[in-house]
Amino acid sequence: MTGRPGFCVAIDGPGAAGKGTIARAIAGRFGFHHLDTGLLYRAVALKGGDPGSAARGLSAADLARTDLRSAEAGQAASRIAAIPEVRAALLDFQRRFATQPPGAVLDGRDIGTVICPEAELKLYVTAADTTRAERRAAELGADVAEVLSQLRERDARDAERATAPLRPAEDAVILDTTTLTIEQAVTTAVVLVEERWLRG
C-alpha cells in the first residue's frame, strides 16, 4: 500500500466504547505509532501535587506505572483533564507525536476536535452506556451497576467541561460498536483508513 508520511488517525469517544482496542489494531495493521492520550492524564493525576507542574514534568517512568488503568486513575484523570493548564502542558507533546511517519494513531476525548483537527481520518467510537458498563465490568471484575454509575458520571463531566469537551468532530465518522464484535469494528476502521490513506 502506498500513502504519505505523517498520516494521522484521530479516535475519540467515551470510555469502554472500544476506541483503544481499535486504535491498537490500526497501529499494528499499518505500522503506525500509537498513543493512548488518556494515559497522559492518568499519569498526571497519579503523580499528585500541583497538576500543572505534574503535567510539565511528566516522564517515561510516569507512563510506565502499572496502576494507570485502574478505575480510580480513570476517575482522577477525568477531573485533571478539565484543568486548562494541564491540557496546555500536554498539547505540544501530543501534536508532535501525531506527525511521526509513516503515521500515528491517537485515541482520547479531544483528538479530532483539539489535538489533531487536521487529521486525515477522525473516528468517534461510541456505544450504549449499558453495553460499555458491561464491557468495563467484565474487564475489571467489577459490579455492572457500579461501573455504569461511574461511566455516566464521567460522561457528564467530560461532555460538560468548559475546556475541550467530549464531542465528535464535525467531520468525524461515527462508529457505534454497541452491536458489533471487536473484529467487525476493527474491520470497519481498517477499511476507512485504507480509503483515506490511498486517497491522499
- What is the pLDDT, as a whole number, of residue 200? 62
Q: At what angle do helices 144-160 and 129-140 cross, to 10 degrees?
A: 120
Query: Which uninterrupted H or E stretch holds 173?
Result: strand 173-176
| Cα distance between residue 130 and residue 191, in whole Å | 28
| Cα distance between residue 131 and residue 147, in whole Å | 11
Using alpha carbons, list the distances in angstroms from residue 14 to 71, 92, 154, 166: 14, 23, 9, 8
User: What residues are designated binding site for ATP?
Assistant: 13-21
- What is the pLDDT, as a whole number, of residue 39? 92
* Model pTM score: 0.88
Query: Which uninterrupted H or E stretch holds 185?
Result: helix 182-199
| Residues 14-48 pLDDT 10s | 999 999 999 999 999 999 999 999 899 999 999 99
3 state SS of 90: helix
User: What residues are designated binding site?
Assistant: 13-21
What domains, with CATH codes, occur in the chain? 7-199 (3.40.50.300)
pLDDT at 116 over 90: yes
Nearest to 149 by CA among 29, 15, 30: 15
- What is the pLDDT, as a whole number, of residue 63? 87
pLDDT at 126 over 60: yes
Using a pLDDT cut of 90, give the percent of the chain over it. Answer: 78
| Residues 57-80 pLDDT 10s | 998 889 889 999 888 898 898 889
Q: Which neighbouring-strand residues pair with 122?
A: 10
